[in-house]
Amino acid sequence: MQDVVGYEIDVNDLFNSPAKTEDVQKNDNNNTNDKQYSRISKFGRGKMQEVVGYEININDLFNSPPKTEDVHNNSNNIISVEYDNPAPEGNDKKGIEFSRLTVFLKKYYRILLALILILVLIQIEITLLVVLLHHGNSEVSSTTTTTKIPTTRIATHNFEKTSTSPEETTATSSTNLKTTPDPGDTSCGTRRPYTFLFAYSNDLSSETVLDSRNQFLLNNGITKFSWYGSVRFDTENMDIQVYPNIDNFRATIQNNLPDPNQGFQNSSIGSNVFDAIEKFFSNTEAPVCGSIIYILLKRYPNEADNSRLVSLIRYHHSIVHVVTSATPSGGSQPKTMYSVASKTNGMGAFESDQNFIRATFWLPFYFTPDPIYAITIQVSGSGTIILPDFFRPLTGTYEIVITYQDHVPDNSFRNFILHYVNPYQSGNFSVDSESVSSYWHGNLVRQGMVTQEVNTKMSLDYNYSGWGVHSLQIRILTDIPLDDWCPYSD
């Protein structure tokens, strides 16, 4: 036999077209037969005997390794095919293994996808279980560390300002009040009587304390209270005294006037007014729910964070009013107690010691002790703020009280005009720097207001020099309390 020319098989051809036997071409001399087989012959080159073509089953290529077929001799002397030299090592084996993998994947890919999906779902379930267990542990820990002082009602303010100079600032405001109150202390309602606490610093003069006490006693509003308490703070030892009658209240203050020998001897020591308020709320004799606390402050506290104290006061639906000395005896935080008053619907006055008596008269805890509208706003420069609407279900006379600075008064204040408008009337409350002198140079002013049973639009025009930020307390009060507690303002 002549040498047979070897050629390659493309494995893909096995699937793309049926195997076939090529025609054997003869040369001119008919001495030699060059047999060229395509797509069905074994890889390799070697000596071959004369071969008769035979049929190949494609499945046999994958189910069993190639083998030499025995061919029976026939009348034409057909003999068996033998390969003298095997194909190059590895080529045939790799092709067959690849083909087996392809068939396997085609046959079982659905099962493999199902297994992969099951494994993914199992992993997701395990992850969710771990997260749930961790969350459960967090809930358990949170329920075992509760606080006795909840956070209560808040008023929020959003401002948009444009400015062309430090002297002129135009502002618009949208102020939202949280009208759903926290239930807090349920031991009392909004109707009086309440407990009144008179708290004074040991650093004040006896004259200042007595003048303020007497001013309180002279007002007819004292009949609005059922219990009276007093405490002298800024001493090492404080003692809260509470009585259901006014005479004992008068005598207790008289017998516990400021004593410099019992006070703090260092101006760096801050006031312990926080302790005095907390001690009042821990007393078991007088009811504290709905109480009004009046503080005469000479020494500033050193604490800047008052959040815990504010939460305690709010929980008991109480109000704090404070008058702060313009000449402090110590401490470092002049605005802390003003902030406490702001966040409990109270008022914060800054006065010289001799004018504490006047502040005691002007602060709203006598004839109109119940706030029905309370907001605190931040202003700077000049502008206009649109305030929350005011609505009162009953026609009557109310009192507007405003603090126009949150510190000892300076020359930065120029004027403000509070506007209120409804379908039946319009009015305003106007104060300028010249008229302030008639209020003994304090920071607190008030004016009466008559309104109908309608919604009243409110706005404030203000004018300050420079870029200093001023916190203004705006309150409308009445002697007829609401059915619900007035929302607190920040």
- Is residue 377 a contact partner of residue 155, using CB atoms and an 8 Å limit? no
- Non-local (6+) Cβ contacts of 419 within 8 A are 426, 427, 428, 457, 458, 459, 460, 461
Once rounded to an integer, what is the mean pLDDT over residues 250-255?
Answer: 97
Triad 38, 43, 45: Cα angle to 5°: 100
The CATH code that applies to domain 168-478 is: 3.40.50.410
Query: Cα separation of 124 and 28, whole Å?
Result: 76
Once rounded to an integer, what is the mean pLDDT over residues 446-460?
Answer: 87
Q: How far is CA 403 from CA 124, 155, 200, in A?
A: 60, 18, 21
Q: What is the pLDDT of residue 428?
A: 94
* Domain ranges within the chain, ordered by starting residue: 168-478
Q: What is the pLDDT of residue 3?
A: 47
Query: Cα separation of 390 and 22, whole Å?
Result: 103
Once rounded to an integer, what is the mean pLDDT over residues 244-260?
Answer: 95
Whole-number mean pLDDT of the chain? 76
Query: Cα separation of 312 and 318, whole Å?
Result: 9
Q: What is the pLDDT of residue 296?
A: 99
271 secondary structure, DSSP code: P
Share of the chain above pLDDT 70, in %: 66
Once rounded to an integer, what is the mean pLDDT over residues 461-487?
Answer: 92
Of residues 162 and 231, more confidently modeled: 231
Q: What is the pLDDT of residue 2?
A: 46
User: In which band, very low, low, confident or very high, does the pLDDT at 391 lie, cut at 50, 70 and 90?
Assistant: confident
Lowest mean pLDDT of 195-209, 312-326, 384-398, name the range.
384-398
Q: What is the pLDDT of residue 377?
A: 97
Asked if pLDDT for residue 400 goes beyond 90, the answer is: yes
Q: What is the pLDDT of residue 128?
A: 77
Query: Cα separation of 341 and 349, whole Å?
Result: 10
Q: What is the pLDDT of residue 366?
A: 84
Q: What is the pLDDT of residue 149?
A: 38
Question: What phi, psi does 310 have (nearest 5°)?
Answer: -60, -40
- Over residues 156-193, the pLDDT tens digits come to 344 444 333 344 444 444 344 444 345 689 889 888 77
Asked if pLDDT for residue 331 goes beyond 70, the answer is: yes
Of residues 324 and 158, more confidently modeled: 324
Once rounded to an integer, what is the mean pLDDT over residues 193-218?
Answer: 95
β-partners of residue 295 are 199, 322
Q: What is the pLDDT of residue 47?
A: 40
Once rounded to an integer, what is the mean pLDDT over residues 261-274?
Answer: 96
Once rounded to an integer, what is the mean pLDDT over residues 220-243?
Answer: 88
Q: Biggest alpha carbon distance in the chain?
A: 149
SS (H, E, C) the chain: CCCECCCCCCCCHHHHCCCCCCCCEECCCCCCEECCCCCCCCCCCECCCCCCCCCCCHHHHHHCCCCCCCCCCCCCCCCCCCCCCCCCCCHHHHHHHHHHHHHHHHHHHHHHHHHHHHHHHHHHHHHHHHHHHHHHHHHHHHHCCCCCCCCCCCEEEEEEEEEEECCEEEEEEEEEECCCCCCCCCCCCCCCCEEEEEEEECCCCHHHHHHHHHHHHHCHHHHHEEEEEEEEECECCCCCEEECCHHHHHHHHHCCCCCHHHECCCCCCCCCHHHHHHHHHCCCCCCCCCCEEEEEECCCCCCCCCHHHHHHHHHCCCEEEEEEECCCCCCCCCCHHHHHHHHCCCCEEEECHHHHHHHHHHCCCCCCCEEEEEEEEEECCEEEEEEEEEECCCCEEEEEEEECCCCCCCCCEEEEEEEEEECCEEEEEEEEHHHHHHHCCCCEEEEEEEECCCEEEEEEEEEECCCCCEEEEEEEEECCCCCCCCCCCC
Asked if pLDDT for residue 200 goes beyond 80, the answer is: yes
Q: What is the pLDDT of residue 134?
A: 55
- Over residues 82-138, the pLDDT tens digits come to 444 444 444 454 444 555 667 666 677 778 888 888 888 888 878 777 666 655 544
Query: Burial of 64 by CB count in 10 Å (0-12 exposed, 13-18 middle, 19+ buried)?
Result: exposed
Q: What is the pLDDT of residue 431?
A: 93
Question: What phi, psi does 378 have (nearest 5°)?
Answer: -110, 130
- Over residues 404-422, the pLDDT tens digits come to 999 988 889 999 999 999 9
Q: How far is CA 141 from CA 131, 134, 164, 347, in A?
A: 16, 11, 53, 39
User: In which band, very low, low, confident or very high, does the pLDDT at 77 lie, cut at 50, 70 and 90?
Assistant: very low
Dig out the tokens for 438 from the structure: 């008639």
Triad 199, 348, 478: Cα angle to 5°: 95
Asked if pLDDT for residue 220 goes beyond 90, the answer is: no
Share of the chain above pLDDT 90, in %: 46
- Non-local (6+) Cβ contacts of 126 within 8 A are none
Once rounded to an integer, what is the mean pLDDT over residues 230-254?
Answer: 95
How many CA atoms, within 13 angstroms, populate the side-chain half-sphere of residue 257?
12
Asked if pLDDT for residue 373 goes beyond 90, the answer is: yes
Of residues 225 and 50, more confidently modeled: 225
Asked if pLDDT for residue 269 goes beyond 90, the answer is: yes
Of 485, 436, 488, 429, the closest CA to residue 458 belongs to 429
Q: What is the pLDDT of residue 438?
A: 55
Once rounded to an integer, what is the mean pLDDT over residues 139-165?
Answer: 38
